Each structure stands twice: as structure tokens, then as C-alpha cells.
Amino acid sequence: MKLNAFISLLAVCLLFYADIAAACSPASQGWDRRIRVRADCSFTRAGEGEFGLGEGSPAIDLGNDLVAQAVRFGSGCSFSETLHLIDCAEQNQLSLHGQNPVDPGEPAIAGSFTTSVEKILMPEGPIDLYAITSLEGAREMAREHNVTVSDDALEQIQRLSGRNRYDLFCGCERFYPEHSQ
């Protein structure tokens, strides 16, 4: 179980935690393609967000009917990452918003804006993903560490083009089918 959790976390790291310089590549083409969703709930080409198209990591089972999934909108030098936490039993969610990975005193890339989930999760950040046992506990942990939270992801997803919306509850269907809508 611990090995599977480690492998899942490693997959999230590999997908999202590229060095900023490496991330400053040209934006991908494919603005009008339909979303592509895989069996592990990861996806590409979600509807356009503030910084471009969205992509999601594989959903991770945290136990206690909780699922996590990191989502990134944008590419190149400007992107925004969010960690969605979903309570499958309650059909509720909480989003933890990434923080700017540029450390004070380090030069930033002109014209770039990034928020990274890496900077809020251990080992780089203060939040231990596997210590989360409830959405309220996650909210309190985020508050203690000045991490921005929101609970309006469903409304935000509804603003995306219908054919390019992602399913926030895909991980629930995968890990907790008894709670699927």
C-alpha cells in the first residue's frame, strides 16, 4: 500500500514539477481538440483556463473516501496549479491553490506567472498529503500554512466548454464506486 502511494505521488511529481526553465517551452497546439481522459483519471486538453488548456494528474486514493488530483492550466512560462481534494462519500470538494515557486531574491522570468502545487506539498511545502483525513482538516492545515483554498471548483468547471470539461469526481468512480453519482 505504501509503495503504491509512493508511486502515485512520484507520478504526480513527474507530471507537474518540472524546473521552471524547462517549463518555458512553446504552448502546445490543439486548442480545439476534445478532452482526452485516461483510465487513471488523468487528462489533457481540458477547456481553456486563464493560462491555456488544462491537464490533470492521475487521481490518488488518500483513504477515508478521499481522493486527490492535481490540475494545471497553462503551459510555457505561465501556468496555475491546483490540488483538488474530493470527499467521495459527501460528494464535496476543496481546492488547495499552488504557490509561486520563485523564492524571494531569485530572479524571475520576465512575463511569467506560475503557481505550483509542489510548493504547498511536502517535501518542499508544509502540507503532508497523506496526513489529510477530511476536507475540514485539509482546510485547517491550509489555513495554518497560508495556503489559499476554495470550494468553487464545480462552478469553475461549468464555465469550461462543454466538450472539454473534466470530471472532478472521476477518482471517486475509480476508487469508491459505491459513492459514485
Look at strands 113-115 and 36-37 and give their pairing: unpaired
Q: What are phi and psi of 138, to 5 degrees?
A: -65, -40
- Please answer whether residues 156 and 149 qualify as being in contact, where contact means their C-beta atoms are separated by less than 8 angstroms: no
**If the chain, 181 residues long, is cut into consecutive pieces of 10 residues, what is the mean pLDDT of each piece?**
50 45 50 81 78 84 97 76 95 90 58 74 93 96 94 80 83 94 65
DSSP 132: -
pLDDT tens across 61-114, in order?
999 999 999 998 777 676 778 999 999 999 999 999 887 766 655 555 555 666
Buried b (16+ CB within 10 A) or exposed e, 120-148: bbeeebebebeebeebeebbebbeeeebe
Q: Please give the model's pTM, rounded to 2 decimal places.
A: 0.76
Q: Where are the domains of the chain?
A: 2-16+50-179
For residue 47, give the C-alpha cell. 477547456
Spatial separation of the C-alpha atoms in residues 3 and 5, rounded to whole Å: 5
Buried/exposed code over 57-67 (b: 16+ C-beta within 10 A; e: otherwise): bbbbbbeebbb
* Cis peptide preceding 123, ω within 30 of 0: yes
Residue identified by cell 502545487 is 117
pLDDT for the residue 31: 53
Residue 165: CA count within 13 A, CB half-sphere: 14
